[in-house]
Amino acid sequence: MNQPQRNALYYAFIVALGGFIFGLDIMLISGTHEYTKAEFGLTSLQLGNIAAGPGYGALLALLFAGYFSDKFGRKNTLIIIAALYTISAIGSAFAPSYFWLFIARLIGGLAFTSLSLASIYIGEIAPAKMRGKLVGMNQLNIVIGVFVATLVNYFLVNTAQEAPSWAQAILLDEQHVWRWMLGVEIIPAMIWLALLFVIPRSPHWLILNGHQKEAESVMEKIRPAEDVAQEINDIKVSINSAESTPSLLEQAEAIFSKPMRIALLIGVFMALVQPLTGMNAMLAFMPMIFQQVGGDSSAFAQSVVVNLVGISFTILAMLLIDKLGRRFILLGGLTVGTVAMAIVAFAFFNAVYVITPDTLSAMNVAVEDAGKFAPLLNTEFYSDVDIKEAVLGTVGQEMYSTVEANLIISTASMNGTLVFIGIVTFVCAYNFSIGPILWILFSEVFPTKVRALAITGCAFITSVFGGVVVPTLFPVQMETIGAAFTFAIYGVMCAIGLFAMASILPETKGKSIEEIEEELKARSLGKT
């Protein structure tokens, strides 16, 4: 690797650290649900809102992210994003109520645009032969952040339960442990903020705004000297003007023009396919999912194992994505994801739930209240929804509220190994394929002059479904239609995505952004 390549790698790594903080954010919250529900008396919908709060913020931010990115530059916008992450982490850790926790999480969502901005910046500085790997670092950092968060949650929960004297001295107990979980994010957010001042401004943005001398200076750091002039010229040809940034209206007209038809379809379909597979819900509620299997004490440990395996497949994707190609990897990942979700759904469809005297003890039902459950003893229920409705209808809301947390954990009898295998397989497929391919394709299929608006627009769609709809509805779905149908829906979404992308996605590996632009334009106009 020559020095320009090392420089590109270094700058891309710094920018991709935003993915690490994103991964921390979405996974740290997964360990807090049991505690915040008890402290603030949350309903299932409020619980979903806490998980989806960042999604609402992301939607708001994405309305302006493209404008800020073009107006003030990729670098300056990323600095603002890092500051928002820091503010959100502090606010979440010290939130005094459900409302303030939701607001702090929403502020963090304003920073979730780091994913789209990172793909823009890295795509613009990366050499064509390294672009897949460098943009894919964003996904690698996400899964590393997720894994670190599972380790942190596991450590904090165990420490709070064991209650050593040093932990009690710093209020690391079962009442405050969730605040420690959310406060962990403060330190990496501040480090990322400081590092972003090191990176240069994007050469594409500099030329787009008429700063050619500075663009040439930056390009000399990230390209061999003999390639600088040609790359500068290619960018100018793509932009078609180095004097000013196209207006939002001009960009919108270009995006919806006939030459951009295939690129737009790829962007929109990918923006829908990725979140509707359900990954964000699984990350945000992974301990809850494993508790549904009946593994309360091991739920956090299982989450650690799942995400550790997931990291290895993300690293594998980084090594192979520029060799196997985007199309092959994406279609393979969607195929495996479909099968994995079918396995999980099958395991839940075949579950049996039975209340016995032993399960009443596990649910902490007082002896004097045990008689209320007599009509339900030794009755077999074949879905988590059925047993919840039966208990609620038999013992009433007040008693149900006291046993709800441990009801499924105590009564479930199912093939937990099958659920674990299915979820591990899906996480591997997602981290190897569906996750990183999204941002790589976003960085490749849209021309420079419309990239900021196009990518943030597609990211807006992803955020609507992945950041808001899917995680908000997950606890409601689990309560109303049950785990089996919830995971079956995710499997169907994977299958739909497979057929859609198989019909429209070309191979883009090893091609410059300008070459990809010309190919997609020709296909849109029916010339190939």
Whether 494 and 337 have beta carbons less than 8 Å apart is answered as: yes
Regarding whether 455 and 406 lie in a shared domain, the answer is: no
Give the span between the Cα atoms of 528 and 522, in whole angstroms.
6
Give a yes or no: residue 107 inside a domain: yes
Regarding whether 446 and 429 lie in a shared domain, the answer is: yes
Regarding whether 318 and 397 lie in a shared domain, the answer is: no
Give a yes or no: residue 385 inside a domain: yes
What pLDDT does 135 receive?
73
Regarding whether 371 and 484 lie in a shared domain, the answer is: no
Regarding whether 362 and 312 lie in a shared domain, the answer is: no
Give the span between the Cα atoms of 416 and 296, in whole angstroms.
12
Strands 352-354 and 380-381: antiparallel
Regarding whether 470 and 382 lie in a shared domain, the answer is: no
What pLDDT does 182 receive?
92
What pLDDT does 447 receive?
78
Give a yes or no: residue 303 inside a domain: yes
Give the span between the Cα atoms of 268 and 272, in whole angstroms.
6
What pLDDT does 14 receive?
92
Angle at alpha carbon of residue 56, lines to 151 and 282, rounded to 5°: 35
The tokens for 27 are: 């996974």
Regarding whether 407 and 288 lie in a shared domain, the answer is: no
Q: Which residues of 6-43 are buried (b: 16+ CB within 10 A; e: fewer)?
A: ebbbebbbbbbbbbbbbbbbbbbbbbbbbbbbebbebe
CATH number of the domain that residue 312 is part of: 1.20.1250.20
What pLDDT does 246 receive?
63
**HSE toward the beta carbon, residue 43, CA cutoff 13 A:** 6
Regarding whether 113 and 261 lie in a shared domain, the answer is: yes
Regarding whether 398 and 258 lie in a shared domain, the answer is: no
Regarding whether 446 and 484 lie in a shared domain, the answer is: yes
What pLDDT does 321 receive?
77
Name the domain boundary from 413, 436, 456. 413
Give the span between the Cα atoms of 376 and 400, in whole angstroms.
13
Give the span between the Cα atoms of 10 and 320, in whole angstroms.
20
pTM, 2 dp = 0.68
Give the span between the Cα atoms of 509 and 324, in whole angstroms.
8
Give a yes or no: residue 372 inside a domain: yes
Give the span between the Cα atoms of 355 and 359, in whole angstroms.
6
What pLDDT does 251 receive?
76
What pLDDT does 243 receive?
45
Q: Where are the alpha helices (DSSP H) in 366-509?
A: 384-411, 416-429, 435-445, 448-462, 470-480, 482-504
Name the domain boundary from 364, 384, 413. 413
Helix (H, G, I), strand (E, B) or coil at 352: strand
Give a yes or no: residue 528 inside a domain: no
Regarding whether 317 and 257 lie in a shared domain, the answer is: yes
Give a yes or no: residue 106 inside a domain: yes
What pLDDT does 293 receive?
65
One pLDDT digit (tens) per residue for the chain, 528 residues? 688 888 888 998 898 898 899 888 878 888 888 788 888 888 878 888 888 788 788 777 777 777 788 788 888 889 998 999 999 999 999 999 999 999 999 998 888 777 677 877 888 888 877 777 787 787 778 888 888 888 898 889 888 888 888 888 888 888 889 999 999 999 999 999 999 999 998 888 888 888 888 888 888 888 888 777 888 887 777 666 434 556 667 777 888 888 888 888 888 888 888 889 988 788 777 777 776 665 544 666 777 777 788 788 878 887 887 788 888 899 999 999 999 999 999 998 988 888 888 888 877 777 777 788 888 888 888 888 888 888 888 888 878 877 776 777 778 788 878 888 898 899 889 988 888 788 778 778 887 777 777 877 887 788 788 777 888 788 888 888 888 899 999 999 999 999 999 988 888 777 777 788 888 888 888 765
Give a yes or no: residue 11 inside a domain: yes
Number of domains in the chain: 2
Regarding whether 356 and 318 lie in a shared domain, the answer is: no
What pLDDT does 438 receive?
81
Give a yes or no: residue 79 inside a domain: yes
Helix (H, G, I), strand (E, B) or coil at 413: strand
What pLDDT does 211 receive?
85
Name the domain boundary from 390, 413, 436. 413
Determine the structural domain holding residue 403 and report its residue range. 352-413
What pLDDT does 187 receive?
92
The tokens for 30 are: 């997964």
Beta-ladder partners of 352: 413
Give the span between the Cα atoms of 181 and 150, in whole angstroms.
10
